[in-house]
């Protein structure tokens, strides 16, 4: 402390002047005691620095957003002197949100003692938390001298979004298929009269309206047509969390957490119900990324890839919906679930014209006023979500 150094220096100067002004023996003894006391404090901090050690440990490598991260600080003092004035500086950095915080903790350390101090830090937003101890400062008893040691080990904790329980199943996505589905089964017939699966000879159980009259009259034998079966495709999840235009960074992070929470909840439900799907998103370099999900481990790996991205965002001229429509294979999905900040009338028209055979469930974080826009097509649903209405809103994809 600077004021302790100032007063102690002033005290030394005054005691030195007393040698010439007053009783020389007493004044000299006082000066020598103050000087030796200062030297002892300096020797104390040098000695303690060689005997003191600190280590940081993070046992929970993954937690949910909003939970507390337990940070264990292991302190060892091998000297016979206690340390009453020590300060630990902890740095918490979220690489996903680019947030950076420093916490200062005061810790007394007993002599010849090993202790573990546990502190809890709340993870406010999703991302990768890098937890490091920058330094451990300690001072002598008079707070004249200080030394610094560098604690061993740093920790990393992955903050995944919390999940909400969604009642129902995703049957409305997998079991319903529009008659105009572009993909048909190659092994099984169906009832889609727009495509012929095969032509074969008539059997007693066949319906008369399936008879191929022109071919039957040519070969003088009854033939029937088997129609095609539209395939019930896997569905796609589209995530956009980089294209936010908000003045307040705190609000942006809250909305990103909300979209991640909604997407993670639906994706986890699909895995539990053994439904395959594909996650599509843009990374910070404006490149479309695709991940086919069939197991829980694949889902968590993709979530980790999403929240571990760092760097500066590259602004795209096209929205993620426009990129999706023009991407190869996008027409093969039976349904698409979107988790995006907002949607425009232009994008809805694109979906209605380019993908009329697909179901579109669009979850956005702002209010979509249908009254000011044209009526939505039957295969498109736009749902505004908030933290309070999230559980109810996600039931739109379930029955």
* Residue 176: predicted pLDDT: 43
* Residue 5: predicted pLDDT: 82
Give SS3 for 340: strand
* Residue 123: predicted pLDDT: 84
Pick from 37, 36, 34: nearest CA to 11:
34
| Whether 333 contacts 234, CB under 8 Å | yes
CA distance 86 to 136: 7
* Residue 263: predicted pLDDT: 93
Domains in the chain, start-ordered, CATH in brackets? Answer: 1-160 (2.60.40.10), 186-230 (no CATH), 233-397 (3.40.50.410)
* Residue 56: predicted pLDDT: 86
* Residue 370: predicted pLDDT: 45
Q: What is the pLDDT along the chain (399 residues), one digit of tens a residue?
A: 677 888 888 888 888 888 777 767 888 888 888 889 999 989 988 988 888 888 888 888 888 988 888 988 888 888 888 888 888 888 888 888 888 888 888 888 888 888 888 888 888 889 898 888 888 888 888 888 888 888 877 888 999 999 888 887 775 454 444 445 455 555 567 777 777 888 888 888 888 888 888 888 888 888 888 877 665 557 899 998 876 554 445 578 888 899 999 999 999 998 888 888 899 988 878 788 888 888 999 999 999 999 887 656 666 677 888 888 888 778 778 889 999 888 888 888 888 888 888 888 889 887 554 444 557 888 888 888 988 888 888 888 876
* Residue 97: predicted pLDDT: 83
Q: What's the Cα-to-Cα distance from 384 to each of 16, 90, 131, 173, 314, rounded to whole Å?
A: 77, 39, 35, 19, 26
For residue 279, with 0-12 CB atoms within 10 Å meaning exposed, 13-18 middle and 19 or more buried, which class applies?
buried
- The beta strands (E) that lie in the chain are given as 52-57, 62-64, 68-77, 85-94, 99-106, 113-122, 127-139, 146-149, 155-160, 184-190, 192-201, 223-230, 235-239, 277-282, 288-293, 335-340, 359-364, 380-384
What's the pTM value of the predicted model, to 2 decimals? 0.72
Helix ranges (DSSP H) in 273-381: 296-307, 320-326, 345-354
Pick from 128, 127, 393, 379: nearest CA to 266:
393
CA distance 162 to 174: 25
Pick from 71, 151, 153, 77: nearest CA to 114:
77
CA distance 305 to 360: 25
CA distance 108 to 52: 12
* Residue 226: predicted pLDDT: 84
pLDDT digits (tens, 9 = 90+) for 377-392: 888 888 889 888 888 8
For residue 286, with 0-12 CB atoms within 10 Å meaning exposed, 13-18 middle and 19 or more buried, which class applies?
middle
Task: Count CB atoms within 10 A of the CB of residue 253.
Answer: 21
CA distance 112 to 76: 8
* Residue 315: predicted pLDDT: 67
Give SS3 for 28: helix
Q: Per the structure block, which two tokens stand in for 154?
A: 């740093």
């Amino acid at each position: 402390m600077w004021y302790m150094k100032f007063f102690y220096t002033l005290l030394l100067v005054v005691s030195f002047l007393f040698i010439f002004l007053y009783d020389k023996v007493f004044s000299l003894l006082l000066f020598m005691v103050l000087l030796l006391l200062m030297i002892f404090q300096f020797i104390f901090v040098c000695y303690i620095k060689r005997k003191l050690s600190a280590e940081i440990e993070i046992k929970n490598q993954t937690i949910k957003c909003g939970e507390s991260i337990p940070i264990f600080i292991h302190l060892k003092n091998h000297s016979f002197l206690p340390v009453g004035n020590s300060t630990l500086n902890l740095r918490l950095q979220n690489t996903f949100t680019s947030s950076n915080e420093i916490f200062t903790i005061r810790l007394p350390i007993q002599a010849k003692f090993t202790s573990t101090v546990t502190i809890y830090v709340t993870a406010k937003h999703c991302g990768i938390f890098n937890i490091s101890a920058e330094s451990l400062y300690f001072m002598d008893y008079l707070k004249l001298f200080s030394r610094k040691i560098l604690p061993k080990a740093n920790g990393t904790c992955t903050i995944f979004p919390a999940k909400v329980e969604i009642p129902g199943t995703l049957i409305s996505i997998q079991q319903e298929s529009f008659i105009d589905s572009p993909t048909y089964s190659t092994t099984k017939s169906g009832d889609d009269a727009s495509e012929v699966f095969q032509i074969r000879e008539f059997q007693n159980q066949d319906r008369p309206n399936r008879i191929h009259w022109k071919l039957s009259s040519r070969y003088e034998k009854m033939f029937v047509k088997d129609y095609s079966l539209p395939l019930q495709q896997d569905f796609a999840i589209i995530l956009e969390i980089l294209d936010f235009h908000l003045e307040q960074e705190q609000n942006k992070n809250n909305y990103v957490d909300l979209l991640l929470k909604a997407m993670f909840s639906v994706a986890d439900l699909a895995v539990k119900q053994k439904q395959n799907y594909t996650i599509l998103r843009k990374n910070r370099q404006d490149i479309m990324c695709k991940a086919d999900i069939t197991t829980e481990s694949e889902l968590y790996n993709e979530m980790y890839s999403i929240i571990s991205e760092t760097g500066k965002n590259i602004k795209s001229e096209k929205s993620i919906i426009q990129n999706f429509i023009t991407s190869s294979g996008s027409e093969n999905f039976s349904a698409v679930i979107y988790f995006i900040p907002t949607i425009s009338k232009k994008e809805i028209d694109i979906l209605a014209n380019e993908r009329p055979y697909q179901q579109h469930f669009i979850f956005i974080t702002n209010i979509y006023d249908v009254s000011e826009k044209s009526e939505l097509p039957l295969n498109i649903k736009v749902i505004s979500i908030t933290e309070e209405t999230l559980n109810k809103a996600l039931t739109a994809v379930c029955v």
